Amino acid sequence: MKKKILNTLFIITGAALLQFILIAYKHYVGYVIIHSSGQFFRTLFIGTSLSAIIIALVVYLDDKIIRLLSKKISWQKSFFIRLPVEILTALTIGAVFGVLFTLVSELLFGYKEPLGEVFISNILIAAIVNLTVVGILEAMEFFRESQQSQLKAEKLERENLKLRFEMLKKQLDPHFLFNSLNILSSLIAKDKKKSQRFIDAFAAVYRYTLDVIDKPVVSVAEELNFAHDYLFLQKLRFENAFTFEINIDNACRERFLPPLTLQTLLENALKHNVANVERPLHIRIFSDNDPETIMVSNNLQNKVKMKYSSGIGLENLKNRYKLISDSLPDFIETGQEYIVQLPLIRAE
């Protein structure tokens, strides 16, 4: 409602300004002599009413063209193409509506001065005024985008704070540390080479978490390296109750994801599904000849009794996607399998 009122005021003000310029110009050159304030305000009112209708159409058309150009020729990538195209388009639209305004005025009221001269003056004024209108609309759009970018940055920071808290809470969880140290203790006695690999993977998981926690996106390649280390640790814990497979095309590895996306999904799979020798859990991270997405799937074997789950991890993941991408993860349950389809983000 507030936006509509502001737009209406903008149109009426623009129409009144246009008419004031036209009346002043015509009075100055002697086309129409204003003899009294009553004549001035009457002429201003009639002209403003007609101009407001035309300007409303012009502003609507300008706005549509600006949005179309923003999709086809962005300011950031093609400034020196966008600028002349937009100026030429604004002048053309202004000139066309200048002609329409003159024709309508001639039919309704008639001009005392030569129609050819009126056409020229009205076209010039309308073209310049419309160029000004387009400039104002662009300034408003830049301001709106700036405000939205700032809000998105603030929201992303809040989501990253939530993520940081959740990740640190999980990794400082006494159970996680106890289980990890327990596994390490048994490995040292049995297999020193594998115990060193465990220590390296354990350190890599912590280091990666701290390195990427404040980043809006990380490469798929980085996420996959992390997933290898994380799944290696889990494989030692679950042994034959858990298997995994990673098969991602090189084209996908150059795209980006929100940080710790894969850990969120892998933890979710391990937390919510039975994993034992009789019913092994199989997790796959793969691409399907589509460089725009990757999939994370597991065979579905839900635990009968589950501890309370807040769902913060998946909700946080969706919120972070909303702030950096137009596409959201797709969560699919087929009955035998749970699949998460992750949209990949292109580098800017």
Which phi-psi region, left, alpha or beta, contains residue 346 (left: φ > 0; alpha: ψ -120 to 50)?
Answer: beta
Is residue 255 within 8 Å of residue 346, measured between CB atoms? Answer: yes
Mean pLDDT confidence for 15-23: 75
0.85 cut: is pTM over it? Answer: no
pLDDT (tens digit, 9 = 90+) per residue, 173-201? 555 666 677 777 777 877 778 888 888 88
Three-class SS state of 173: coil
Domain identity same for 234 and 334: yes
Count of domains forming the chain: 2
State both tokens at 155.
């929201």
Question: Which residue range(s) make up the domain with 334?
Answer: 173-343
Residue 159 falls inside a structural domain: no
Q: What gap in Å lies between CA 281 and CA 262, rounded to an integer? A: 17
pLDDT (tens digit, 9 = 90+) per residue, 246-302? 999 999 999 999 888 998 899 889 888 998 888 999 999 999 888 899 999 999 988
Residue 260 falls inside a structural domain: yes
DSSP state of 240: G
Domain identity same for 94 and 32: yes
Distance, C-alpha 121 to centroid of its chain: 44
Domain identity same for 191 and 330: yes
Place of tokens 């301001």: 143
The answer to which of 42-56, 148-162, 313-327 has the lowest mean pLDDT is 148-162
Among 115, 150, 185, identify where a domain stops.
Answer: 150
pLDDT for the residue numbered 76: 76
Domain identity same for 115 and 201: no
Domain identity same for 332 and 211: yes
Residue 166 falls inside a structural domain: no
Domain identity same for 12 and 132: yes
The answer to which of 80-84, 92-96, 173-177, 339-343 has the lowest mean pLDDT is 173-177
Three-class SS state of 98: helix
Average pLDDT over the chain, rounded to an integer: 80
Domain identity same for 120 and 234: no
For residue 199, the domain's CATH number is 3.30.565.10
Neighbours of 190 (CB within 10 A): 8
Domain identity same for 105 and 209: no
pLDDT for the residue numbered 30: 67
Per-residue exposure over 208-228, b if at least 16 CB sit within 10 Å of its own CB, e if not: bbeebbeebbbbbebbbebbe
pLDDT for the residue numbered 172: 43
Domain identity same for 135 and 202: no
Indicate the pairing of strand 337-343 with strand 330-333.
antiparallel
Domain identity same for 132 and 192: no
Confidence band of 245 (pLDDT split at 50, 70, 90): very high
Mean pLDDT confidence for 313-320: 81
pLDDT for the residue numbered 343: 95
Domain identity same for 311 and 269: yes
